[in-house]
């Protein structure tokens, strides 16, 4: 009798855990988590001008970042790359190419940890260590910061501001890491684009890792998306340029 009860408890626990994992997966794939933490961040410029900023997280990557840079160069578009410090050290030549070709850069932490409820010393180390690496390798100083997974509390946001950084999120999420095809990504962004938008892409990483991953759909998305948005009257700018435009309003 006791064994039967234990088996029932284990079975119900298994069902509960499986359901929780499924719900979390669905939430992660189909809901943009940034919606819940945008307050106190810069996620869209206040402007009526048809400008839009393309941003890329998790690089640099020796394969995908270079392919993305090729597409941006062909289209004559500048973007913003939020780089992981460890990757900048691993692939310095790619980081230098980003800056040499006139793109904007930002800090995406050194090791890509989720910073929610991080102690102050850890938060400061992740940002400043990455800043130092970017400066040493590219000669570029940046105070743009994007948190991994977007999650930050009001306390962390205040600390980041105290350190002199602007927390940058996004208003349109390509969800390219989910491996949606390029047509789906392109149509979603094209239909929902508004003046001042910041679009999230990735040039490395995947659902469960910060390096590698497959950004084929991202690279396929870019040329046609850029072409279609230009036809719609949009001009592509960097996040720093969007901040300057917002400051004027």
Residue 52's pLDDT is what? 98
Q: Do residues 6 and 118 share a domain?
A: no
Each of the 249 residues of the chain gets a pLDDT tens digit; together they read 556 666 566 655 655 454 444 333 444 445 577 888 999 999 999 999 999 999 999 999 999 999 999 999 999 999 999 999 999 999 999 999 999 999 999 999 999 998 988 899 999 999 999 999 999 999 999 999 999 999 999 999 999 999 999 999 999 999 998 877 899 999 999 999 999 999 999 999 766 667 777 899 999 999 999 999 999 999 999 999 999 998 765
Q: Do residues 186 and 227 share a domain?
A: yes
Q: Do residues 117 and 23 share a domain?
A: no
CATH code, domain carrying 236: 3.20.20.370
Q: Do residues 121 and 27 share a domain?
A: no
181 is catalytic: no
- Cβ contacts of residue 222 below 8 Å, gap of 6+? 54, 68, 71, 72, 75
Q: Which two tokens stand for residue 229?
A: 């948005």
Rounded to whole angstroms, how far apart are CA atoms 65 and 182? 17
Q: Do residues 162 and 58 share a domain?
A: yes
Could you tell me the residue range of the domain that residue 194 belongs to? 35-247
57 is catalytic: yes
Q: Do residues 85 and 128 share a domain?
A: yes
Q: Do residues 8 and 43 share a domain?
A: no
Q: Do residues 15 and 71 share a domain?
A: no
Whether 52 contacts 236, CB under 8 Å = yes
- Cβ contacts of residue 166 below 8 Å, gap of 6+? 42, 143, 144, 145, 243
Q: Which two tokens stand for residue 232?
A: 């719609």
Residue 52 main-chain phi, psi, to 5 deg: -150, 145
Q: Do residues 10 and 56 share a domain?
A: no
Pairing, β 197-202 against β 172-173:
parallel
Q: Do residues 21 and 134 share a domain?
A: no
Which is nearest to 81 in space by CA: 52, 58, 101, 97? 58
The single residue listed with the structure tokens 């359901």 is 19
Catalytic option among 57, 58, 104, 197:
57
Rounded to whole angstroms, how far apart are CA atoms 152 and 238? 23
Catalytic option among 87, 112, 202, 203:
202
Q: Is the pTM of this model over 0.85?
A: yes
Complete DSSP assignment for 30-60: HS-GGGGT-TTSB-B---SS-EEEEEEES--
**Angle between the N-to-C axes of helices 92-100 and 120-138, in degrees from 0 to 180, rounded to the nearest 10:** 70
Residue 66's pLDDT is what? 97
Whether 225 contacts 54, CB under 8 Å = no
How many CA atoms lie within 13 Å of 105's alpha carbon, on the beta-carbon side? 31
Residue 24's pLDDT is what? 39
Q: Do residues 14 and 114 share a domain?
A: no
Q: Do residues 191 and 234 share a domain?
A: yes
Per the structure, how many domains does the chain have?
2
């Amino acid at each position: 009798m006791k064994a039967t009860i234990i088996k029932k408890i284990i079975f119900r626990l298994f069902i509960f855990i499986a359901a929780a994992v499924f719900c979390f997966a669905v939430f992660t794939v189909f809901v943009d988590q940034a919606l819940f933490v945008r307050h106190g961040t810069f996620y869209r410029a206040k402007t009526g001008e048809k400008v839009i900023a393309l941003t890329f997280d998790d690089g640099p990557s020796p394969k995908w970042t270079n392919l993305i840079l090729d597409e941006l160069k062909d289209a004559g578009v500048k973007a913003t790359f939020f780089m992981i410090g460890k990757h900048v050290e691993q692939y310095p030549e790619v980081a230098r190419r980003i800056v040499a070709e006139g793109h904007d850069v930002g800090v995406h932490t050194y090791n890509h940890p989720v910073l929610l409820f991080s102690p102050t010393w850890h938060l400061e180390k992740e940002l400043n260590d990455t800043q130092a690496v970017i400066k040493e390798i590219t000669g570029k100083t940046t105070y743009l910061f994007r948190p991994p997974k977007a999650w930050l509390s009001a306390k962390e946001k205040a600390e980041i501001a105290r350190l002199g950084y602007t927390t940058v999120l996004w208003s349109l999420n390509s969800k390219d890491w989910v491996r949606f095809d390029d047509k789906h990504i392109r149509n979603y962004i094209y239909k929902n684009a508004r003046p001042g938008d910041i679009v999230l892409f990735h040039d490395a990483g995947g659902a469960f890792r910060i390096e590698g991953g497959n950004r084929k759909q991202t690279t396929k998305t870019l040329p046609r998306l850029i072409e279609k948005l230009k036809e719609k009257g949009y001009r592509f700018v960097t996040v720093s340029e969007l901040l300057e435009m917002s400051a004027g309003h």
